[in-house]
Amino acid sequence: MFGPFSIDTIFPAFPQMGAQLGADKLAMQQTISVYLLTYAAMSLVHGPLSDALGRKRVIFAGLFVFMLASIGCALAQDMGTLLLFRALQGLSAGVGFIVGRAVIRDVFHGDDAQRLMSQVSMIFGIAPAIAPIIGGWLLGWGRWPLIFWFLAGFSLLLLASITLWLPETHPPAARMKVAPAHLLRDYFSIALNPRFQRLALAGSLNFGGIFLYIASAPAFVLDLLRLNEQQFAWLFLPTIGGMTLGAFLSGKAAGRVSGTRLSALGFAFMGAGVALNVGYNALADAPAVPWAVLPMSLLAFGVALIFPILTLSILDMYPRQRGAASSLQAFSNLLVNAIIAGLLSPLLSHHGLHLALASGAFTLLGWLFWRWEMRVSRREPRCAKDAPAMEPTDQL
């Protein structure tokens, strides 16, 4: 939770931070993009390290570095120092989400794995949704450094929880040696696999439709909707509701509804959300609550239905390299998010219709990659598509 949670806890503080540090809105947006870029780069390392050193050790080290980086952000007196420690936060923040998924697949299989991964999907969606709300509350009690002190305390609490209650799920007998040449070979093998590319891009692009609004939240909430720093809930509560309901139904459907049918249902809901969003913004003079934010529920609901299925399909392709596969999938998702936060959001967040059209384009692209995988999977036997080391999966 703490990786995505840290992305946008600071959104409500953008005006206050910009005024104190002498940074304009574009410069403040880079506190998100630099975090995501280092998050994406290090995501390629977290998984293989956990394959070699064990899951618990890597998660613990990442949490400790994140706590120190959060303290550095709280003490920053200029924009350069803040960006430096935000980058350090990004370098360490991926351990929870990336290694955590490998932990789930170490312990659970089949329908049980889908049920638990659905809960992860719900937590992953809730984290960036409640973060700006908490950030707004904290601003009511103090100035912006309080947000980073909160993140430091949050990571300390997680460190204690990991120490006391998380078992090691990757025993020494199953671990792989840290060999850069072998790691690069594994990454090239995974990244060049056409099936991995289709599944990873389907997931990254369909989540991108929601993340565009998350990354644009300061401009969307404060400038377009003309709300204040304590009213970010108007954007994020519909997202929380849709994500929670979708994750709940995905877990309940495990073993009862096929992955193909559930994915099709998820994309159908996302398509309905895109149509409502574009239609409203094309007709409205100016976006306003609640109609400008209700389509987020449908988008989030669809993402939560699809996420566990796509993720398990990728992890099951590489039973002995789940950490590496999880890392590369996360890298794909984070790279798309970094492009959205650093490039697209500053360009599009000044107009509601521009945001709606771009969000719809991401959803459409995600659906096209998913349809491509469906066509290929019907034409070719799974064993012919995957390398000999891979195990087949019936999730799609």
pLDDT in tens, 208-266: 998 899 888 888 888 898 887 677 778 878 888 888 888 778 777 777 878 788 889 99
Provide the pLDDT for residue 179.
Answer: 66
- pLDDT higher for 138 or 218? 138
CB contact at 8 A, 7 and 38: no
**What does pLDDT average to over the chain?**
83
* pLDDT digit string, tens, across residues 167-213: 887 777 666 666 677 777 877 888 889 999 999 999 899 889 988 99
Confidence category of residue 363, pLDDT binned at 50, 70, 90? very high
Which of helix, strand or coil describes residue 78?
A: coil
* Least confident range of 159-173, 328-342, 382-396: 382-396
pLDDT for 355 beyond 90: yes
pLDDT for 342 beyond 90: no
Encoding tokens for residue 277? Answer: 């969003």
Mean pLDDT, residues 129-135: 80
pTM value > 0.85: no
Query: CA geometry: angle at 35 spanning 46 and 330, to 5°?
Result: 40
Provide the pLDDT for residue 392.
Answer: 35
Q: Which CATH code for domain 2-385? A: 1.20.1250.20
Query: CA geometry: angle at 216 spanning 272 and 31, to 5°?
Result: 145
SS3 string, 149-173, reads: HHHHHHHHHHHHHHHHHCCCCCCHH
SS3 string, 307-346, reads: HHHHHHHHHHHCCCCHHHHHHHHHHHHHHHHHHHHHHHHH
> 153-171: buried (b, 16+ CB within 10 Å) or exposed (e) per residue?
ebbeebbeebeeeeeebbe
- pLDDT higher for 125 or 350? 350
Confidence category of residue 391, pLDDT binned at 50, 70, 90? very low
Mean pLDDT, residues 114-119: 74
* pLDDT digit string, tens, across residues 71-112: 999 999 999 999 999 999 999 988 887 788 778 878 887 777
Mean pLDDT, residues 51-56: 80
Task: Provide long-range contacts, Cβ within 8 A and 24+ apart, for 338-342.
Answer: 338/33, 338/36, 338/37, 338/39, 338/40, 340/208, 340/211, 340/212, 340/215, 341/29, 341/32, 341/33, 341/36, 341/211, 341/215, 342/29, 342/30, 342/32, 342/33, 342/36, 342/37
Structure-token match 């469906």, residue found: 374
CB contact at 8 A, 3 and 93: yes
Provide the pLDDT for residue 394.
Answer: 40
Q: How far apart are CA 95 and CA 352, in angstroms?
A: 35
Mean pLDDT, residues 334-354: 85
Structure-token match 């034409």, residue found: 379
* Least confident range of 124-138, 206-220, 303-317, 376-390: 376-390
Provide the pLDDT for residue 274.
Answer: 95
Query: CA geometry: angle at 82 spanning 350 and 351, to 5°?
Result: 5
Provide the pLDDT for residue 64.
Answer: 95
* pLDDT digit string, tens, across residues 299-336: 989 988 888 888 888 878 877 777 678 778 878 887 88
What is the longest distance spanned by two Cα atoms in the chain?
63
Q: What is the percent of the chain where pLDDT is above 70? A: 91
Could you please report the per-residue DSSP string of 176-214? ----HHHHHHHHHHHHT-HHHHHHHHHHHHHHHHHHHHH
* Least confident range of 84-88, 122-126, 153-157, 280-284: 122-126
